[in-house]
A and B are shown apart, each in its own frame.
Chain A
Amino acid sequence: MVEYRIDRHSGVATYVQIVQQTKQALRLGVLQAGDKLPTAREVVEATAINPNTVLKAYRELERDGLVEARRGVGTFVRRGLNTTPADSPLRAELDAWAVRAREAALDRDDVAALFTAVLDEHFAVPEDPDGRTDRFSRTDRPDGPVRHSRTDMQDRHDRHDLNPGDPS
């Protein structure tokens, strides 16, 4: 049985986190074909998130053909995800490449940027069905540092009490 961990400050929409964690469990073999996903009730009791968020995630997994909902019984895994075992030749090649990158004096960020660029070239960027991955995103403030210094103070005040003066 998989257990979801919701990070409120990750900037990733909650239902996307459930989808990602389920897929990760499928990749790692923690979840296998025939396994039952926790019920919406079980997930929300443990995480205190809205039940519709769980159902939305499960619907998306169902659309991807990874799980199927059996009425009155639960949601079950249909198939695992292509996994690449730790000892596969692909991993060995990547490992060798990483060694060469380090020898070429690339640092971690350089390697990540390079890898992402090549990844984007060969694989389509996954499309969020709603085009709104960042529902609660706190990153990517286009309005820069001026606004930021303002919100720092404002946030501290507002988190205690949403009373920025008389609203009437």
Chain B
Amino acid sequence: MTDTAMAATALGKRFGRRGGWALRDCTFRLPAGRVCAVVGPNGAGKSTLLALAAGLLAPSEGRVTVLGTDPASARARVGYVAQDKPLYPQLSVAETLRVGADLNPGRWDAETAERIVSAGDLDPRKKIRALSGGQRTRVALALALGKRPELLLLDEPMADLDPLARHELMGTLMARAAQYGTTIVMSSHVVAELEDSCDHLLLVGGGRVRLAGEIDDLLAAHTRVSTATGSTVPTPMDGSPDGAPGGLPELAPHTVVESRVTGRQLTALVRPAGPLPDDWRTSAPSLEELVLAYLRNPQAAPLTPAEPEEAAV
């Protein structure tokens, strides 16, 4: 047993020898038992990251470990649902679940799998090819959960689901995490969809990890500030003409993610490096604001924890 569900060190993936990097310099550690959101714009590298963790892609550089071992050795303990929910179209729902049982001897939880399928009012005799996208997602999740995985990797699991099914299946996933301590990693480009369910965040953008850590810690590390321009630092004394009337407040010691001047007001999202001046108004950002600020500002310094501890292999 290890307390690390997933760890990457300088992980990178490039498609084709001359192709661009889909993912690069990816270093993070996900503790076991977390529900982790992998968030980022389309083409950011989310699916590549999940496929690397599932062992379906080999890294071009660096390495990734899951459940304390390499992805191939961990496969029996990992559930993975790809974005396109690949299933055999010619099989019926019931046959698909039997395949799950046959392929996972000793692990298969038929009751859970059948409960998920029947909650969607699916006729077990219906062929997979006759199902809607959302119904197929339900069967794919039933297969993945029926396997009793210790780590569940879900690529855009909620995209095809109607709001009711989304809530119900998210509840099922959370119940799983509560009861068995299952680690769940799920990607989405809609932050709002994940913010109540996840406690850990990986923000991927431009093939790199921009933010990694506990959501509470990440939020606590950032502050939204607003202040009148010229309120903090007087115009430079050397008399050099300064473009901003009254001089801009000094943000320098703090890491600035985003800043904007409107009229006489400066607003910014910063990672404070020390106490902030008393005359600055501060407030806590929401998760969505935080994520959007980083995505709008690709040059903002990433915040990822130091080197992950080497997972025991």
Contact = CB atoms under 8 A, between A and B. Distances in A.
Mutual binders A and B: yes
A51 B284 contact: no
A40 B176 CA distance: 11
A155 B198 CA distance: 21
A7 B283 CA distance: 21
Interface string B79-100: 0000000000000000000000
Nearest to A137: B286
| B interface, over-half SS | mixed
Contacts, number: 125
B41 A147 contact: no
Given A142-B224, A159-B190, A162-B295, A44 B195 contact: no
Interface in A119-151: 130, 132, 134-138, 140-144, 146-147
Nearest to B170: A48
B104 interface: no
A46 B286 contact: no
Interface in B156-179: 167, 170-175, 177-179
Interface in B264-313: 265, 267, 281, 283-284, 286-288, 291-292, 295-296, 298
A50 B284 contact: no
B70 interface: no
Interface residues of B, number: 49
A142 B281 contact: yes
Given A135-B216, A142-B226, 19 more contacts: A45-B178, A48-B167, A48-B196, A49-B197, A50-B35, A54-B178, A134-B283, A135-B287, A142-B267, A142-B281, A142-B283, A146-B262, A147-B262, A158-B288, A161-B41, A162-B191, A162-B291, A164-B295, A167-B41
Interface of B: 35, 39-42, 44, 167, 170-175, 177-179, 189-192, 195-199, 205-207, 216, 219-220, 224, 226, 260, 262-263, 265, 267, 281, 283-284, 286-288, 291-292, 295-296, 298
Interface of A: 6, 8, 14, 39-42, 44-54, 130, 132, 134-138, 140-144, 146-147, 154, 158-164, 167-168
